[in-house]
């Protein structure tokens, strides 16, 4: 592992606050501003199966479509509201549901349709556009529009997330890079960070972290990595950072979904619970976590015990700043005639509306800015159910 510096806009650092924390994830991003509210965006890469995470067991068609994947209370499903149940692999989140700190939004999607490409779907999810947006992310645009003024942002990443790329200044803290750094450049960094305790500590740990960090990446310690990146995010958010984003991979479950989905759902559970633990009650009470995916999966299971690329998906809302304990959204049903193109959960809501409502609630970004700059073309107003919730 090496260190490198890009003087044009971004800063690359090898290492992390804790070596065990280094993720096998796509990225992790942070932003700092005045004010007490926090917002965390988690991208679930690979098309998370919302019909598996929050199973509509009250819909008679569900078990017919998924005889090998549907669960009941006898097989570990956590009842949520008499209609939907939480997958047992995410059962660690159930206490948050009971405490009113967890909700789900079913049948949501971006405007992306039909082609079902991970790359295109993730681009739309991260740019916040309708297919014609540029290559800058909606979170980057949002950090420049907060009511308290521009947010200072930092992206901690192994592959820079598009969600934080764009015209607003953003630093990057990377756990690995291919460009070596010389001794005089090391001295430059020492001087650069000497007046910033957080960066100085991170830089010193990064400098001595090479071998151990590589073992974490190559050892595929995904569970520990998920916990570590969330711990790092929580530590920043407990103090003076206000916005964070990171990714969790592993949701593309074309085959053997039972085992693969359980691992990813456990990783998501670990991330959210670690965020809460590290942030502490005061910061968590002012936080909204939004976990979202590029699209859902087919309503019918396939012949290899999995599901294929779909359309309507499910979003997760956690944190003490949003009144939880609800499965939200307009449920379209799963019977014949209800499915999108006779294969997918029909999208009845726009995931961008959920994200926009959280930015409006947490940072006072106005509806005009949200519908023109952050999410071009979005139909959003302060009367949104997600604002009033």
Residue predicted with more confidence, 332 or 34: 332
Could you read off the pLDDT of 200-248 as tens digits, one per residue?
Answer: 777 666 654 433 333 333 333 333 377 877 887 888 788 878 888 888 9
Domain segments of the chain: what residues?
Answer: 4-388
Residue 158 pLDDT > 70:
no
Q: How many C-beta atoms surround the C-beta of residue 284 within 10 A?
A: 22
pLDDT for res 168? 77
Residue 17 pLDDT > 80:
no
Supply 290's token pair.
């939004």
Q: At what angle do helices 222-238 and 257-284 cross, to 10 degrees?
A: 20
Residue 198 pLDDT > 90:
no
The pTM of this model reads 0.81
Residue 125 pLDDT > 70:
yes
Could you read off the pLDDT of 26-55 as tens digits, one per residue?
Answer: 345 555 544 789 999 999 999 999 999 999
- Decide if 139 contacts 41 (C-beta within 8 A): yes
Across 305-320, average pLDDT: 98
Q: What is the mean pLDDT of the chain?
A: 82
Residue 272 pLDDT > 70:
yes
Supply 352's token pair.
């961008």
Highest mean pLDDT among 150-164, 294-308, 375-389: 294-308
- Decide if 255 contacts 304 (C-beta within 8 A): yes
- Decide if 20 contacts 228 (C-beta within 8 A): yes
């Amino acid at each position: 592992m090496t260190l490198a510096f890009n003087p044009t806009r971004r800063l690359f650092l090898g290492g992390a606050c804790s070596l065990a924390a280094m993720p096998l994830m796509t990225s992790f991003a942070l932003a700092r501003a005045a004010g007490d509210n926090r917002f965390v965006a988690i991208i679930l890469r690979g098309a998370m199966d919302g019909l598996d995470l929050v199973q509509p067991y009250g819909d008679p068609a569900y078990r017919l479509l998924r005889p090998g994947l549907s669960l009941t209370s006898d097989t570990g499903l956590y009842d949520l509201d008499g209609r939907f149940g939480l997958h047992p692999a995410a059962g660690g989140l159930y206490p948050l549901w009971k405490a009113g700190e967890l909700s789900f939004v079913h049948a949501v999607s971006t405007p992306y349709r039909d082609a079902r490409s991970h790359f295109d779907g993730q681009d739309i999810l991260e740019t916040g556009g309708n297919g014609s947006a540029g290559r800058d992310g909606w979170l980057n645009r949002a950090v420049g529009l907060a009511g308290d003024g521009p947010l200072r942002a930092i992206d901690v990443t192994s592959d820079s997330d598009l969600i934080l790329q764009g015209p607003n200044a953003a630093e990057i803290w990377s756990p690995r890079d291919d460009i070596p750094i010389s001794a005089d450049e090391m001295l430059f960094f020492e001087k650069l960070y000497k007046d910033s305790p957080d960066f100085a500590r991170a830089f010193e740990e990064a400098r001595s972290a090479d071998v151990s960090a590589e073992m974490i990446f190559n050892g595929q310690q995904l569970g520990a990595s998920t916990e570590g990146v969330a711990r790092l995010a929580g530590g920043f958010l407990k103090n003076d950072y206000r916005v964070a984003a990171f990714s969790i991979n592993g949701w593309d479950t074309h085959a053997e979904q039972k085992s693969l989905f359980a691992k990813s759902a456990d990783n998501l559970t670990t991330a959210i619970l670690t965020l809460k633990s590290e942030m502490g009650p005061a910061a968590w009470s002012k936080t909204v976590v939004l976990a979202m995916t590029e699209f859902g999966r087919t309503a019918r299971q396939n012949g290899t015990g999995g599901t294929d690329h779909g359309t309507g998906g499910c979003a997760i809302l956690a944190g003490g700043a949003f009144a939880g304990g609800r499965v939200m959204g307009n449920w379209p049903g799963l019977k014949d005639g209800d499915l999108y193109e006779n294969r997918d959960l029909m999208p009845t809501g726009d995931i961008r509306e959920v994200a926009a409502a959280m930015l409006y609630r947490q940072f006072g970004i106005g509806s005009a800015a949200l519908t023109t700059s952050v999410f071009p073309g979005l139909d959003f107003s302060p009367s949104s159910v997600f604002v009033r919730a």
